[in-house]
Amino acid sequence: MDGSVQLEMRFGAANYAPMPVTLARGKGIYLWDENGRRYIDMMGAYSAASFGHCHPRLVQALTDQARQLDTVSRAYFSDRLGAFLGRACALTGMDQALPMNSGAEAVETALKAARKWAYKVKEVPADRAEIIVCDGNFHGRTIAIVGFSSVPQYRDGFGPFPAGFRSVPFGDAAALRAAITPNTAAFLVEPIQGEGGINVPPPGYLAEVARICREQNVLLICDEIQSGLGRTGKLLACQHDGVKPDAVTLGKALGGGLLPVSLFLARRDVMQVFKPGDHGSTFGGNPIAAAVGLAALNTLIEENLIERSARLGAHLLARLRAIRNPIIREVRGRGLFAGVELERDLASAATVARRLLQAGVLTKDTHRNTVRFAPPLVIEESEIDWAVDRVAEVLDEFARADVHP
């Protein structure tokens, strides 16, 4: 065990159990450990590294801005924020945007906006607003958000939780309709559930829930923090169903893998419930974040990374689905956002992920005993082939050895 790991384990809280590798350098889709061994990154930092590691254009934007102006707080205007917000609104079709840092902060902003909109615009009685979420959701780690999680560990020991949330099955539009009451403010949904196991809803699901929300005067808020910004082969995953939500949360890839940048974007009447002093963030929208965020959006479009994701994602899913192995239960995904669910009584996804690490492939297990794949959008077809070949080899090892969880 090297010194850096010993220090991290001694002084760091034990809220993570890292894979047994110490990473020291990254470039593009590759990472190197402290001994110089190279790995292909098939996880992409949960979509945060969508542009690859240390993308020269994004690093340049970061360093240029850091030399010019850093954080001045939103108490003043800066010469960088307006262009960033304008570009984000133009691309997503939203009217206004509110910058934050982490994805969880963007979701918390969305929850506050939905509740205040319910009281000020929809005229829901005070303190009665409800927000509907989905079983298997993952929207962050704050007290409010884990309070409506369906994962027991995320809730254990952190109550009491804020009221005003109810959960329905993911992919079931009829269940949403049945759950709506006159006090329902919003429906918060991931177009594809990432942490839940790369769960893809039935075709037309989002279009149907959008219609229901319009009929019932309920806000549709799409959490695109993992699934957005080209990850699924569209700018936003909800666009696969032709849906324009009332509000969107973005994060992860928005910071180019370099720093936390997030946005809550919405139509004007939703955003205008916020008045000066209602909400804020010391670092949200700082000049460096705005410069990197704008560069990330421009890079996404100008390097045709959305189209790459659609094309290469189809190849990734086809290659994964072509693996013939009894350990595989199901392959799910869209674009460069894929999950391979394993038969629980035959193999543990966590054990498979550790063996893939030894084979030079970085990934991670997630819920439903699923191994996730979300590589940087700059990956090449030949690199996908190399990684999938390693996956097939590792799964063959497990099948031959009859390895059990």
pTM for the structure as a whole: 0.97
| pLDDT for residue 331 is more than 90 | yes
Q: What is the DSSP string of 250-316?
A: E-GGGGTTTS--EEEEE-HHHHTT--TTSS--SSTT-HHHHHHHHHHHHHHHHTTHHHHHHHHHHHH
Identify any residues that bridge with 166 across adjacent strands, giving them in sequence order.
Answer: 132
User: Which of the residues are catalytic?
Assistant: 138, 223, 252
Question: What is the sign of the dihedral through the CA atoms of 33, 36, 42 and 46?
Answer: positive
From residue 99, give the alpha-carbon distance in Å to each of 208, 219, 225: 29, 20, 13
CB 183 within 8 A of CB 355: no
How many whole angstroms separate alpha carbon 217 and alpha carbon 258? 39
Q: In what order do the strands lie in the sheet with 338-342?
A: 328-333, 338-342, 370-373, 364-366
Q: How many domains are there within the chain?
A: 1
What is the CATH number for 291?
Answer: 3.40.640.10
Mean pLDDT for 356-379 is 98
- Which one-letter amino acid corresponds to residue 273? V
- Which residues have C-beta within 8 Å of that of residue 53, sequence separation ≥ 6? 26, 27, 28, 29, 30, 31, 41, 257, 376
Residue 13 forms part of a structural domain: no
How many whole angstroms separate alpha carbon 13 and alpha carbon 141? 16
Q: Which helix (H) or strand (E) holds 168?
A: strand 165-168
Question: What pLDDT is attached to residue 112?
Answer: 98
Band of pLDDT at residue 3, cut at 50, 70 and 90: confident
Which percentage of the chain shows pLDDT scores above 90? Answer: 98
Residue 371 forms part of a structural domain: no
Mean pLDDT for 129-149 is 97
Question: What pLDDT is attached to residue 6?
Answer: 93
SS3 223: strand
Band of pLDDT at residue 1, cut at 50, 70 and 90: low
Q: Tens of pLDDT along 336-360? A: 999 999 999 999 999 999 999 999 9
Residue 113 forms part of a structural domain: yes
Closest to 353 measured CA to CA, from 81, 113, 18, 52: 18
How many whole angstroms separate alpha carbon 205 and alpha carbon 243? 10
CB 198 within 8 A of CB 338: yes
Place of tokens 């009281």: 119
- Domain of residue 179 covers 56-302
Q: Tens of pLDDT along 49-72? A: 999 999 999 999 999 999 999 999
Residue 193 forms part of a structural domain: yes
Residue 118 forms part of a structural domain: yes
Q: Tens of pLDDT along 208-223? A: 999 999 999 999 999 9
Residue 235 forms part of a structural domain: yes
Question: What pLDDT is attached to residue 2?
Answer: 77
Mean pLDDT for 244-259 is 98
How many whole angstroms separate alpha carbon 171 and alpha carbon 193? 10
Supply 356's token pair. Answer: 């893939």
Q: Tens of pLDDT along 140-192? A: 999 999 999 999 999 999 999 999 999 999 999 999 999 999 999 999 999 99
| pLDDT for residue 405 is more than 50 | no
Q: Tens of pLDDT along 297-318? A: 999 999 999 999 999 999 999 9
Closest to 259 measured CA to CA, from 61, 80, 110, 26: 61
As a residue count, the chain comes to 405
More confident residue, 333 or 3: 333
CB 378 within 8 A of CB 305: yes
Residue 100 forms part of a structural domain: yes
Q: Tens of pLDDT along 78-98? A: 999 999 999 999 999 999 999
Residue 344 forms part of a structural domain: no
Band of pLDDT at residue 265, cut at 50, 70 and 90: very high
